[in-house]
Amino acid sequence: MTVNNDIYIKKDKLDIEKTALSGQVFRYFKNDGGGYTLLSKGYAADCRFCTAADGADKGDFVKLSTNNSEYFINYFDLAENYDIIESKYSDNAVISAAAAYAKGMRMLRQDPFETLISFIISANNNIPRIRMIIERLCSAAGRDIDGKNYKAFPSASDMKDLGEDFFEKIGAGYRAAYLRSTIGAVNDGFDLSKPFRLDTPSAREYLLGLKGVGPKVADCILLFAYGKRDVFPVDTWIKKSVKEFFGIDCPDAKKISRSLVALFGDDSGIIQQYIYYYARGKTLS
């Protein structure tokens, strides 16, 4: 339900905290109302539980106050009914437990350029540091978001004159050279709309042509920006999890990924997110 630029979603269909902390996205901030503000490109969505002030009929809803409702309906993948996917695995104890634990988490459909740059920064990095580097980048090169105290994620054009030394100063480390090269490639015509038109193997190969994009980063971009769910990004958490849950003990991340895509097909991406969130939550709790 959309009223003006406010979007109302049933609470059981969107858990904003689980979504923000799921590892898909790095630009989120806890707000005073107990909800979260998520930023993407030059847009912001303030997310909170509805109160009496929103009307008696909205007690079971989450309210997203945005400056672009159409963008965030797509961003939060609100047209997708995840119950249908989850029901396919009701006889699988591991997937059922992971899906129940992650209930309400949405698969985000993010801007390809922002996702590309963010996941290059994420390589061999931890979430607090990733978020810090990205915020330094946005503060230095991003434009104002109307009515907000946040900066937009800078475009490739906004960053065209930033040298490798700039990225080193904001904490990117060895990734500074990759960022400079990839931003240059996009400004020189590397087409980030092309993967939408390619099958997943071809789209992956295309993205691997960019500096700083390895197989895991490519699969994250394919999943979180292009909505290609026949991928299974593998990191340390996933390696440990699939060994425990599926008995797959293999040092080769690409082989693990292929095995799980063969098992889960077009549901691989959402199953990966459920397992990642479940395993990480169990370990950190």
Show the CA angle centred on residue 273, arms to residues 94 and 210, nearest 5°. Answer: 140
At position 183, the amino acid (one-letter code) is I
Give CA separation, 236 vs 52, 212, 260, 275, 279, in Å: 44, 18, 15, 12, 11
In Å, how far from its chain's centre is CA 119? 9
Instruction: Tally DSSP H helices, then E strands, for the chain.
Output: 14, 6
Per-residue exposure over 214-247, b if at least 16 CB sit within 10 Å of its own CB, e if not? ebbbbbbbbbbbbbbbbbbbbbebbbebbeebee
User: Residue written as tokens 């929103």?
Assistant: 54
Instruction: Give the sheet arrangement for strand 28-30, strand by strand.
Output: 2-3, 6-10, 61-66, 43-49, 36-40, 28-30
211 is catalytic: no
Q: Is 144 exposed, middle or buried (CB count within 10 Å of its CB: 0-12, 13-18, 19+)?
A: exposed
Question: Of residues 216, 240, 254, 255, which has the active-site annotation?
Answer: 216
CA distance linking residue 115 with residue 223, whole number of Å: 10
The two three-digit tokens of residue 173, written as one number: 């480390």
CA distance linking residue 74 with residue 23, whole number of Å: 19
CA distance linking residue 47 with residue 241, whole number of Å: 31
Closest CA to 179 of 236, 226, 228, 134: 134
CA distance linking residue 40 with residue 60, whole number of Å: 26
Could you give the residue numbers annotated as active site?
216
